[in-house]
Amino acid sequence: MKIRHLGPKSRSGLRVILGISCLAILVSSAVSQSLGAEPLASPPEGQTYIGSKKCAACHFDQYLKWRQTKHAKGFEILPAKYQADTSCLACHSTGHGQDTGFKDIGTTPDLAGTSCEACHGPGSKHGEIAKGFGTAKLSGEDEAYVRSTIHLIIQGNACVKCHTANGHKDHPPYDK
Ligand code: HEC
Ligand code: HEC
Ligand code: HEC
Ligand code: HEC
């Protein structure tokens, strides 16, 4: 009798203890995540280019929309003899001339044309930080933090640096 009675009771006691410690782990991990979650004044320095496919893993809608734009075709519209011409790649690819920017279509296909990071800036740390939050839906505070790790639009003349003041009239001459 006694033994039969003790069994289930101590099991449920164990269940309570397990439940409490799971809760404690959940709470403490939530706390330790939001500890780093104060929005930054500006995105972290030293980010490298990771290319549009990596962004697509989390921003698939934006990726599909971007694929439909002329920006996505900015490299392939270059006549073949200009596809390695640095003076063209400045505007027809992403981050060309910088360490981790566009090199050539074989090495860095995901930085061809005006890709995500031409307008949002390099996003390696943004991607890593976002990954750290896993697949759970972000709290408002954590989302604000993740948003603050990349530019909504890079500072300065984000569009005009490629779309020069007089538009197409200033475009360098080339053989069609
Ligand atoms: C691991 C997932 C992940 C990856 C990879 C990722 N992001 Fe994000 N990004 C997020 C999340 C989460 C947010 C918060 C807003 C949301 O939920 O869409 C966000 C927000 C943004 C924002 C909004 C910034 C603002 O100020 O509101 C931009 C722009 C952005 N990402 C661009 C990019 C670009 C460009 C890349 C690739 C270089 C990229 N992201 C890679 C998860 C990711
Ligand atoms: C200062 C930035 C910039 C540079 C440098 C540049 N382009 Fe462009 N290019 C653009 C922009 C912006 C467009 C979009 C068309 C517009 O301006 O209306 C464009 C459009 C084009 C087009 C589409 C067809 C057309 O003529 O409109 C071709 C082809 C092209 N550029 C080739 C080249 C070649 C070849 C070079 C190098 C000799 C070059 N571009 C250098 C910014 C640039
Ligand atoms: C020509 C510049 C340009 C390119 C290229 C571009 N974006 Fe954006 N993106 C913007 C601008 C400007 C905004 C803010 C205005 C808006 O929401 O339309 C934005 C907004 C966003 C946002 C924030 C949406 C939100 O929830 O507030 C995300 C995420 C994003 N872009 C991801 C991407 C990804 C991923 C790519 C590449 C596949 C990309 N962008 C390519 C200019 C660009
Ligand atoms: C890295 C250089 C670069 C940046 C930055 C850039 N663009 Fe472009 N943009 C181009 C090039 C190159 C083309 C032409 C691509 C093609 O014809 O396939 C283009 C094409 C376009 C077109 C299509 C024009 C047409 O003839 O239909 C629009 C609209 C446009 N850009 C708007 C913007 C806006 C708005 C921004 C800023 C948020 C911006 N671009 C930033 C290089 C750039």
What burial letters (b/e) apply to 91-119, b meaning 16+ CB within 10 Å?
A: bbbbbbeeebbbbeeeebebbbbbbbbbb
Which protein residues touch ligand 2 with a CB less than 6 Å away?
A: 77-79, 82, 85, 87-88, 90-92, 162-164, 167-168, 171-172, 174
Instruction: Report pLDDT for 172.
Output: 82
Distance of CA 21 to the CA centre of its chain: 35
C-alpha 171 – ligand 2 centre gap (Å): 6
135-148 tens-digit pLDDT: 889 999 999 999 99
Q: Which residues line ligand 1 (CB under 6 A)?
A: 50, 54-55, 57-59, 116-117, 120, 123, 126-127, 130-131, 138, 143, 146-147, 150, 152
How many other C-beta atoms are found inside a 10 Å radius of the C-beta of residue 86?
10
Rounded to whole angstroms, the Cα distance separating 44 from 61 reads 25
User: Measured on CA atoms in the order 73, 74, 79, 83, is the torsion positive or negative?
Assistant: negative
Ligand 2 atom 29, closest CA? 78
Instruction: Give percent above pLDDT 70 in the chain.
Output: 77
Ligand 2: nearest atom to the Cα of 70? 14
User: What digits encode the pLDDT tens for the residues 57-111?
Assistant: 999 999 999 999 999 999 999 999 999 999 999 999 999 999 999 999 999 999 9
- What pLDDT score was predicted for residue 176? 80
Residue pair 150/43 in contact (Cβ under 8 Å)? The answer is: yes
